[in-house]
């Protein structure tokens, strides 16, 4: 028996990296997973690798109608949605003085508005499922500030607050909402910068995290094992924010 047998979970930004690791871990413990991403070919390959328990749906998280389509396809393939991992995110590096408004708004649209639309889209399906769990992937950048990534930091702080508001609204429906705050994590996209990143050198665990370590935390939050946790931050940063 798996830890989340019978659950239907949507994971955004899951074509590769942490999202793909989340999907793989959830499938390994009995869930059916809808993988969404704008990276169509990589998304298809990830779903194919995970087998019949995975479905890929091309998806722009900033498009409300696309969110509604994801929920329809999830219910048609596997049944009502009982889990959502809002993982899709982008970053743009620029000092505030030269940061273009369009670049700032793009980050906010994906990282913040996308999370709002996702939570809104799944509520009805989660009611039909008898409850559920939403995991919003924030960052240590949602707990402390970092220079040159204003949009990213603003959006990740917003996700932290949105999580708490949603937890209060959704709790009476049997829907839990928590945020996860990774530090430096080694993925295909971040491998070079992660190896050279000075962030983790002075932290208690002086190494980058792995997608699998974050996936174990996401699994716990999607599962009923975390049934009394909602509106909370779960930090996985090797102790970086303990200073």
Confidence at residue 37, expressed as pLDDT on a 0 to 100 scale: 98
**pLDDT tens for the 243 residues of the chain, in order:** 799 999 999 999 999 999 999 999 999 999 999 999 999 999 999 999 999 999 999 999 999 999 999 999 999 999 999 999 999 999 999 999 999 999 999 999 999 999 999 999 999 999 999 999 999 999 999 999 999 999 999 999 999 999 999 999 999 999 999 999 999 999 865 555 555 566 777 899 999 999 999 999 999 999 999 999 999 999 999 999 998
Confidence at residue 195, expressed as pLDDT on a 0 to 100 scale: 55
Residue 152 falls in the annotated catalytic set: yes
For 201, other C-beta atoms within 10 Å of its C-beta total: 8
Contact 170, 177 (CB under 8 A): yes
Confidence at residue 200, expressed as pLDDT on a 0 to 100 scale: 76
Show the domains of the chain with their CATH numbers: 8-236 (3.40.50.720)
Confidence at residue 192, expressed as pLDDT on a 0 to 100 scale: 54
Marked catalytic residue, from 22, 67, 116, 152: 152
pTM of the model: 0.96
Confidence at residue 202, expressed as pLDDT on a 0 to 100 scale: 84
């Amino acid at each position: 028996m798996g830890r989340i047998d019978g659950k239907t979970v949507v994971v955004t930004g899951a074509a590769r990296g942490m999202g793909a690791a989340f999907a793989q871990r959830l499938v390994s413990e009995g869930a059916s997973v809808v993988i969404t991403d704008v990276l169509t070919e990589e998304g298809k390959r990830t779903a194919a690798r995970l087998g019949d328990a995975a479905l890929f749906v091309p998806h722009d998280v900033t498009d409300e109608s696309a969110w509604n389509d994801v929920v329809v396809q999830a219910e048609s393939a596997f049944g009502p949605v009982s889990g959502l991992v809002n993982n899709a995110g982008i970053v743009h590096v620029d000092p505030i003085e030269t940061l273009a408004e369009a670049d700032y708004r793009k980050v906010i649209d994906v990282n913040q508005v996308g999370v709002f639309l996702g939570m809104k889209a799944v509520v009805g399906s989660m009611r039909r499922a008898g409850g559920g769990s939403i995991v919003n992937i924030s960052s240590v950048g949602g707990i402390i500030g970092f220079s040159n990534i204003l949009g990213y930091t603003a959006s990740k702080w917003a996700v932290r607050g949105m999580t708490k508001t949603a937890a209060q609204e959704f709790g009476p429906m049997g829907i839990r909402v928590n945020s996860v705050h990774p530090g430096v994590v080694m993925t295909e996209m971040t491998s070079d910068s992660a190896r050279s990143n000075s962030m983790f050198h002075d932290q208690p665990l002086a190494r980058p995290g792995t997608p699998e370590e974050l996936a174990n935390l996401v699994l716990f939050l999607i599962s009923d094992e975390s049934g009394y946790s909602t509106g909370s931050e779960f930090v996985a940063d090797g102790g970086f924010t303990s200073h």
